Structure 1
Amino acid sequence: MVNSMLSYSGLSQRDAIFDEHGFSSVSRPSQMSLVKGTEDSGGSVVPEKITEEKEAINNEMDSIMGNNTWVFADLPPCCRPLGCKWILKRKLKVDGSIKNFKARLVIQGFKQKSKIDNFDTYAPVVRFSTIRLLIAMASVHSLIIHQMDVKKTFLNGELDEEVYMNQPQGFIMHGNENMVCKLIKSLYGLKHAPKQWHQNFDEMVLSNCYLLNHADKCVYSKFDDYGKGVIICLYIDDMLIFGTDQVQVDMTNKFLSSRFSMKDMGEDDVILGIRIKHESNGIAISQSHYIEKVLKKFNYFDCTLVSTPMDTSEKLMPNKGHVVSQLEYSRVIDCLMYDMTCTRPDIALVVGKLSSNTEDNSSTSGWVFLLGGDAISWASKKQTYITGSTMKFEFVSLAAAGKEAEWLKNLLLEIPLWSKPIAPL
């Protein structure tokens, strides 16, 4: 246990915050700053990592206070304030080294009551199919792909509901000990924080002549009469900007930076665990670093390589008598599903078989859509009911694939770079 040399007398082990992956236990900060150079209970100097985590907490609090996230207020009658906690995390680079330490003040939004202090909570995110489609178009049209990140994303949303929160322990202001924080802007952990952020971004972008793609409401475009412009692709706080030239990208970068606190990531590299690599004959996407990480995590890094995902003649049978860790198995399947969803259509059928009921006799539908020779959308999933004939099975599969084709067509229709009209299905 790490005991910080802080002036707050009420600090105890109950106030320590434990990172999920066992990085450290860090005591809550006291007042408006933290004392550097701490010692543990045995008098030994605490590793430098602890000091960096404390600095991350101070930086987060500075951002919150500078953003006017809350005001002090008396708690109204019959209201219960929500609690909050500090969550610490270390962000890693692709090679596994530590990039930086992050601290977030997270409100206990799980205690919110529907229709009382939160109403609509839906917030869209861009589909992976859309990301792959835009990357394929970037390869065809030689677009520049620029990557940006929104800092303190959920602190940008304005709240419509009244939400009250206890003062963060360690940052209780003298003279206002009995008051609570009335949130003016959203905070991490609120159920409707993602919705408020997306609504704020959406209104800001649309008010500056960007056009919303109605097939995917996280895609925005802006082109002039000469065919020059940009496409913005947003996944919560991760952003890709596809531009016809560097001037258009720089203009968009400047515009976004004037409205939000942005981090310029430069040329696209890794987004959502997907590595984007520009080659002489096109653009390649991969997750080799992610796969290596998964293999090491489950102690399969030295396993024997094979050329195919599965022997198709092998029939999976229900497990009888073999001891299997269900939690570890589900985690392995979860990792494989993410890899399959992002970049690996070749393992879709196998992952589907491994994650489904082996005694289910329903048929499997599947499809792959290509653009410019590149796979942009794929699926392999069980049909929801058992069909009585091969013809019925094929019609059910056709209907599912047809829905995806119609959606892809609508997505392309609203991208200015795509030649129109598109032939009907």
Structure 2
Amino acid sequence: MANGTWEIVERSYGCKTVGCKWVFKKNLRPDGTIEKYKARLVAKEGEDFFDTYSPVARLTTIRVLLSMDVKTAFLNGELEEEIYMEQPDRFVISGQEGKVCKLLKSLYGLKQAPKQWHEKFEKILTSAGFIANEADRCVHYRYGVILCLYVDDILILETSLNLVKEVKDFLCENFEMKDLGVADVILNVKLLREDDCGITLCNKTGYLVFVSKLSRFVSNPGDGHWEALERVLCYLKGTSSYGIHYFGYPRVPVGYSDSNWISDADKLKATSGYIFTLGGGAVSWKSCK
């Protein structure tokens, strides 16, 4: 309500409303302890919408120094459609029980909410001289500063603390922001920094190959499959401290690719893959049949 997301109006004849519900979640610290509890009101989708597409930053672009969080990001987007919503449970205004909420801004849960938010964010950055990257529309750059938007998280890469303060002040003028300082967790991936030794991402992806192979036999597993699963668990336990380390050299991307010949005899398919490294660590990889 403080964001001016809706106004209470009379229920007109033939008015179709969308429902709403409360969603509760916990925000965790890097060590797994609870930082805070959050309650979010979301709309139950609805039928009145046009475009719903919204770009999402690639994981390969998220190599960050600082992060900021946009409070209730989807509430910043302006709606094109006229949408009515039932009053939230336990927040029905006394004496106006028969009235409904006319949405003035986009709300979490609406199909068009991500698109409306991204369009507003891009419009404001463009007005400040930022340019969107053609390969990833969620990345914007200007004068030594790079902003990467991932839903409602803003990742800032910069070369000067003065530039960072300038960008933060600009963002706070246009959005209600919460500064998270130096990033230590990004998309549930823990960041470890060492003095003059770069950054380590505690991100495990190698087990996906094992999961892909073992999941083919979940309907009728045998002794050999259980033994393989035990080896996978032992591997994960023994490599729990492993991660992807970036130490800044070389500063040029290096790519590798390889393929085999019909590794799956049952389907007569080959497997190929590639990996690209930058700054000493892998930034992009893929393996497919």
Structure 1 residue 103: Cα displacement: 0.2
Residues 317 and 358, structure 1, Cα contact 8 Å, conserved in 2: no
Aligned with residue 185 of structure 1, among 105, 117, 122: 105
Gaps of 5+ in 1: 1-64, 136-144, 224-228, 295-308, 324-328, 337-342, 345-356, 383-425
For the structure 1 residues 70 and 381, does the alpha-carbon distance in structure 2 shift closer, same or farther, using more than 3 Å as the test? same
Residues 238 and 271, structure 1, Cα contact 8 Å, conserved in 2: no
TM-score normalised by L of structure 1: 0.54
Q: Pairwise mapping of residues 151-170 of structure 1 onto structure 2 (< 5 A)?
A: 151-170=71-90
Gaps of 5+ in 2: 223-228, 237-242, 245-263
Residues 30 and 184, structure 2, Cα contact 8 Å, conserved in 1: no
Which residue is equivalent to 1:118?
Answer: 49
Q: Secondary structure at the match of 1:95?
A: coil
Q: Secondary structure at the match of 2:168?
A: helix
Instruction: Provide the rounded CA distance (Å) in 1 between the counterparts of 2:265 and 2:41.
Output: 44
Which residue is equivalent to 1:209?
Answer: 129
**Which segment is superposed worse, 166-175 or 277-286?**
277-286
Residues 26 and 34, structure 2, Cα contact 8 Å, conserved in 1: yes
For the structure 1 residues 363 and 315, does the alpha-carbon distance in structure 2 shift closer, same or farther, using more than 3 Å as the test? farther
**Which segment is superposed worse, 246-255 or 373-382?**
373-382
Q: Could you say what the CA RMSD is over the residues aligned between the two structures, in angstroms?
A: 3.0
Identify, as 1 or 2, the structure richer in helix: 1
Indicate whether 1:200 and 2:120 are aligned: yes
Instruction: Provide the rounded CA distance (Å) in 2 between the counterparts of 1:362 and 1:259.
Output: 53
For the structure 1 residues 236 and 316, does the alpha-carbon distance in structure 2 shift closer, same or farther, using more than 3 Å as the test? closer
Between the two proteins, what is the percent identity of the paired residues? 45
For the structure 1 residues 262 and 315, does the alpha-carbon distance in structure 2 shift closer, same or farther, using more than 3 Å as the test? closer
TM-score normalised by L of structure 2: 0.78
Which residue is equivalent to 2:276?
Answer: 369
Structure 1 residue 71: Cα displacement: 1.1
Indicate whether 1:88 and 2:52 are aligned: no
For the structure 1 residues 190 and 319, does the alpha-carbon distance in structure 2 shift closer, same or farther, using more than 3 Å as the test? closer
For the structure 1 residues 361 and 87, does the alpha-carbon distance in structure 2 shift closer, same or farther, using more than 3 Å as the test? same
Structure 1 residue 277: Cα displacement: 2.4
Which residue is equivalent to 2:200?
Answer: 284
Q: Secondary structure at the match of 2:7?
A: strand
Instruction: Provide the rounded CA distance (Å) in 1 between the counterparts of 2:216 and 2:53.
Output: 40
Structure 1 residue 106: Cα displacement: 1.2
Q: Secondary structure at the match of 2:17?
A: coil
Q: Secondary structure at the match of 1:123?
A: coil
Identify, as 1 or 2, the structure richer in strand: 2
Which residue is equivalent to 1:28?
Answer: none
Structure 1 residue 319: Cα displacement: 5.8
For the structure 1 residues 316 and 273, does the alpha-carbon distance in structure 2 shift closer, same or farther, using more than 3 Å as the test? closer
Indicate whether 1:257 and 2:177 are aligned: no
Which residue is equivalent to 1:220?
Answer: 140
Indicate whether 1:272 and 2:187 are aligned: yes
Decide which structure has the larger Cα Rg and report it.
1
Indicate whether 1:79 and 2:10 are aligned: no
